[in-house]
């Protein structure tokens, strides 16, 4: 996915995709919707570096583990939907000021 250097949004919601979230997404990505699938694993820590990301929706999957600890570099983020999963641990230490 990271080779798609001009992609601005990705919507693959309401399918039956299995497996894990892609480790790397295009740095130009503004929004990504992976909601309502059968995805497992964690949100990759590499997502912390997606500084152009405005919205991320991973709700209603079977994701788990801890959320990435530092989202402060995501200065454009205004919407983050992670509910209806199996996350554990604490909330991220640093959230974007735009959330």
pLDDT at 96: 79
Residues across the chain? 99
- Token match 């503004």: residue? 30
| Contact status, residue 7 vs residue 28, Cβ threshold 8 Å | yes
Q: Write out the residue range of the structural domain in which residue 44 sits.
A: 1-99
Angle, CA of 90, 20 and 88, to the nearest 5°: 15
As for how many domains the chain has, the answer is 1
Would you place residue 2 in the very low, low, confident or very high pLDDT band (cuts 50, 70, 90)?
low
| Contact status, residue 70 vs residue 47, Cβ threshold 8 Å | no
> What CA–CA distance (Å, rounded) separates 31 from 52?
9
Would you place residue 37 in the very low, low, confident or very high pLDDT band (cuts 50, 70, 90)?
very high
More confident position, 2 or 47? 47
- CATH code for the domain in which residue 27 is found: 3.80.10.10
| Contact status, residue 79 vs residue 56, Cβ threshold 8 Å | yes
User: What mean pLDDT is reported for the chain?
Assistant: 92
Q: Is the pLDDT of residue 1 over 80?
A: no
Reported pTM: 0.91
> What CA–CA distance (Å, rounded) separates 63 from 42?
6
pLDDT at 73: 84
């Amino acid at each position: 996915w990271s080779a798609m250097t001009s992609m601005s949004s990705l919507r693959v919601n309401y399918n039956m995709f299995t497996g894990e979230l892609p480790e790397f997404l295009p740095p130009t990505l503004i929004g990504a919707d992976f909601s309502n699938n059968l995805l497992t694993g964690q949100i990759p820590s590499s997502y912390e570096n997606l500084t152009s990301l405005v919205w991320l929706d991973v709700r209603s999957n079977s994701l788990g583990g801890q959320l990435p600890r530092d989202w402060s570099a995501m200065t454009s983020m205004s919407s983050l939907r992670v509910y209806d999963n199996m996350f554990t641990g604490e909330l991220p230490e640093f959230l974007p000021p735009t959330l």
